[in-house]
């Protein structure tokens, strides 16, 4: 784990050094859990958005995109359940004055006991060697049995306390388990309080009164309230999807691990409206389709896994996360939820408007069911950076840091270098730049040795470096050097657009869709 955390540290400092991510308001010592994307970061982020948007909207005949406002009518959040139930249970340690999520303290305690069981199991395996039977050992070893009973009891009490919103029982559990604050080392805890995660602000009205409105905590509700507008104006028939990319805001208490958990972040969400009764089939389809999207990035299927939710939210009849093997371990990257007709029914009830869909074939009206795919753009960004970051020893005894970003996502697709600043080479290099920059983001560089220029481009993940030399002036050929293999090839300038188009075009990533399209 120490090594993995090292990678996170390295990725954070590399991101800053090379203009990917900066701490927000850094000159004022920053604002916690808020980050800005720099010159290369914003390019990478835009490319990830393009990959998602094209895979979801352009590659599906029956999915369209919208861009709804961040501010919405306050009743939207009452109907969706966010005003009453979008809470974290918080507890403070009176000595350290540190605040914790009560559920996280308890879950970490369970994980600690599980760790002790695993230690016992490992000891047993060492002692009995090839004869070791883990199932038998877990079922009979008194230490393991005692600890497992503790976990089962704790889980049962947690289930009761959380499902009944019993804050006193949650606190009792923390006290009974003798959970201590990691900072003060004491168990001097306050009461548990519910803390709503939405940011509220005042909207001044003409009459001088004001109303609390919220910064949206998810983009999904902007889709739900527009579903009939889109269905009618787009003459959409079920099943159809509405996609959206946009900012979401949550007043996260435990905001840490760089851009993994922020208070202002971006979501890419799609609500797929379907006939009631078909939700199982579409839920499986979207699980497979979304996993295929992740795998198309080429970081290895071992780095992704599904995590099915056992305890379902009140609106869902099935839900899972796609987890990615981040430097901090496997963590949620995307959620896929079968949301039933909960949201549309709630908006129908609270708005008093008829939100039913008319099915001309069946000649009947009903409220559609919904499958949602919801992914955090910043988390994909972190996954791409962490999986691409490589420190490599080279054959000549030197080393390099290279970002092996999938070429269609790379911030800069080609860097163009004149070998020297004289003899007309810069003019020729700019000519090539002009040829390519209509289709690709390119960078012109003439400072330092070619070797140093290669290293700088490796560090930002540029797939191709093109060098213009004296031979170029004679026969219109250049050397093109590929980032990962570092192989160089002499090619004619006229071939460059096609060569680049094939390697860095989004089509290369999008082709996967054909295998799961419906």
Stretch that binds ligand GAP, among 375-383, 384-392, 444-452, 496-504 (CB under 6 A): 375-383
In the complex, the smallest distance separating the C-beta of residue 219 from ligand GAP, rounded to whole angstroms, is 7
Q: Which is nearer to ligand GAP, 261 or 440 (CB)?
A: 261
Maximum Cα–Cα distance for the chain, whole Å? 83
Footprint (CB under 6 A) of ligand GAP, residues 319-338: 332-335
SS (H, E, C) 302-332: HHEEEEECCCCCCCCCEEEEEEEEECCEEEE
What is the spatial distance between Cα 154 and Cα 158, in angstroms, rounded to a whole number? 6
Q: According to the binding rule CB under 6 A, does residue 267 interact with ligand GAP?
A: yes
Q: Which residue is nearest to ligand GAP (CB)?
A: 376
Binding mask 180-219 vs ligand GAP (x if CB under 6 A, - otherwise)?
Answer: --------------------------------------x-
Q: According to the binding rule CB under 6 A, does residue 262 interact with ligand GAP?
A: yes
Q: According to the binding rule CB under 6 A, does residue 413 interact with ligand GAP?
A: no
Q: At what angle do helices 377-388 and 39-53 cross, to 10 degrees?
A: 110
Q: How many residues bind ligand GAP (CB under 6 A)?
A: 19
In the complex, the smallest distance separating the C-beta of residue 218 from ligand GAP, rounded to whole angstroms, is 4
Taking CA atoms, 331 is separated from 93, 297, 474, in Å, by 27, 18, 55
Stretch that binds ligand GAP, among 223-231, 368-376, 448-456, 488-496 (CB under 6 A): 368-376
In the complex, the smallest distance separating the C-beta of residue 434 from ligand GAP, rounded to whole angstroms, is 39
Q: According to the binding rule CB under 6 A, does residue 343 interact with ligand GAP?
A: no
Among 120, 252, 359, 446, binds ligand GAP (CB under 6 A): 252
Taking CA atoms, 4 is separated from 349, 393, 461, 510, in Å, by 49, 19, 21, 30
Measured in degrees and rounded to the nearest 5, phi and psi for residue 209 equal -80, 165
Measured in degrees and rounded to the nearest 5, phi and psi for residue 342 equal -55, -55
Among 220, 270, 415, 429, binds ligand GAP (CB under 6 A): 220
Stretch that binds ligand GAP, among 131-139, 370-378, 410-418, 455-463 (CB under 6 A): 370-378
- Token look-up 């004001």 returns 210
In the complex, the smallest distance separating the C-beta of residue 370 from ligand GAP, rounded to whole angstroms, is 10
What would the DSSP string read from start to end of 162-231?
A: HHTT-HHHHHHHHHHTT---TTT----B---EEEE---EEEEE-TTS-EEEEEB-S-SHHHHHTTHHHHH
Q: Which is nearer to ligand GAP, 60 or 261 (CB)?
A: 261
Among 45, 60, 82, 250, binds ligand GAP (CB under 6 A): 250
- The residues pairing with 466 across neighbouring beta strands, listed in sequence order, are 416, 480
Q: Which is nearer to ligand GAP, 343 or 458 (CB)?
A: 343
Tell me 516's DSSP state: H
Q: Which is nearer to ligand GAP, 107 or 120 (CB)?
A: 107
In the complex, the smallest distance separating the C-beta of residue 69 from ligand GAP, rounded to whole angstroms, is 17
What would the DSSP string read from start to end of 329-383?
A: EEEEEEEEEEEETHHHHHHHHHH----PEEETTTTEEEPPEEEEEEEEHHHHHHH
Q: Which is nearer to ligand GAP, 137 or 199 (CB)?
A: 199
Residue of 511, 49, 514 lying closest to 296 (CA atoms): 511
In the complex, the smallest distance separating the C-beta of residue 267 from ligand GAP, rounded to whole angstroms, is 5
Q: According to the binding rule CB under 6 A, does residue 79 interact with ligand GAP?
A: no
Let me know: does 389 contact 401? Beta carbons within 8 Å. Answer: yes
Interface ranges with ligand GAP (CB under 6 A):
218, 220, 250, 252, 261-262, 265, 267, 269, 332-335, 372, 374-376, 378-379
């Amino acid at each position: 784990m120490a090594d993995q955390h090292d990678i996170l540290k390295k990725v954070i400092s590399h991101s800053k050094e090379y203009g990917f991510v900066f701490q927000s308001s850094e000159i004022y010592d920053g604002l916690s859990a808020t980050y800005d994307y720099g010159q290369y970061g914003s390019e990478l982020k835009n490319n990830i958005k393009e990959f998602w948007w094209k895979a979801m909207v352009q590659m599906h005949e029956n999915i369209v995109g919208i861009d709804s406002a961040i501010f919405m009518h306050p009743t939207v959040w009452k109907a969706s359940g966010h005003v009453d139930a979008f809470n974290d249970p918080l507890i403070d340690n009176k000595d350290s004055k540190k605040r914790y999520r009560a559920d996280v303290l308890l879950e970490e305690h369970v994980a600690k006991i599980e760790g002790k069981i695993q230690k016992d199991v490992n000891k047993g395996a060492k002692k009995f060697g090839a004869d070791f039977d883990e199932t038998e050992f877990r079922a009979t070893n008194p230490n393991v049995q005692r600890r497992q009973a503790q976990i089962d009891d704790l889980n049962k009490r947690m289930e009761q306390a959380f499902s009944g919103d019993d804050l006193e029982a949650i606190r009792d559990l923390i006290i009974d388990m003798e959970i201590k604050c990691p900072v003060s080392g004491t168990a001097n805890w306050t009461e548990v309080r519910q803390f709503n995660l939405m940011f509220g602000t005042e909207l001044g009205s003409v009459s001088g009164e004001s109303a609390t409105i919220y910064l949206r905590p998810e983009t999904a509700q902007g889709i739900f309230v527009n579903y009939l507008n889109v269905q009618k104006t787009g003459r959409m028939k079920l099943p159809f999807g509405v996609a959206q990319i946009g900012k979401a805001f949550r007043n996260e208490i435990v905001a840490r691990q760089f851009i993994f958990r922020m208070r202002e972040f971006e979501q890419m969400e799609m609500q797929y409206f379907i006939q009631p009764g078909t939700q199982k089939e579409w839920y499986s389809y979207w699980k497979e389709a979304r996993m295929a999207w992740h795998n198309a990035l080429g970081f290895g299927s071992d780095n992704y896994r599904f995590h099915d939710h056992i305890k379902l939210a009140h609106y869902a009849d099935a839900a899972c996360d796609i987890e990615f093997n981040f430097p901090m371990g496997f963590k949620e990257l995307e959620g896929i939820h079968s949301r039933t007709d909960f949201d549309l029914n709630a908006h129908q009830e609270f708005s008093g408007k008829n939100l039913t869909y008319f099915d001309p074939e069946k000649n009947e009206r009903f409220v559609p069911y919904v499958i949602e795919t919801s992914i955090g753009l910043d988390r994909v960004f972190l996954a791409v950076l962490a999986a691409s970051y490589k420190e490599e020893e080279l054959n000549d005894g030197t080393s390099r840091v290279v970002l092996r970003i999938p070429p269609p996502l790379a911030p800069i697709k080609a860097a163009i270098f004149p070998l020297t600043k004289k003899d007309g080479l810069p003019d020729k290099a700019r000519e090539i730049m002009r040829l390519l920059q209509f289709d690709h983001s390119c960078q012109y560089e003439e400072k330092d040795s070619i070797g140093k220029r290669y290293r700088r481009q490796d560090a930002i993940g540029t797939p191709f470096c093109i060098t213009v030399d004296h031979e170029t002036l004679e026969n219109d050929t250049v050397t093109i050097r590929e980032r990962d293999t570092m192989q160089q090839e002499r090619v004619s300038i006229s071939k460059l657009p096609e060569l680049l188009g094939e390697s860095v075009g989004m089509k290369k990533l999008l082709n996967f869709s054909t295998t799961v399209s419906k």
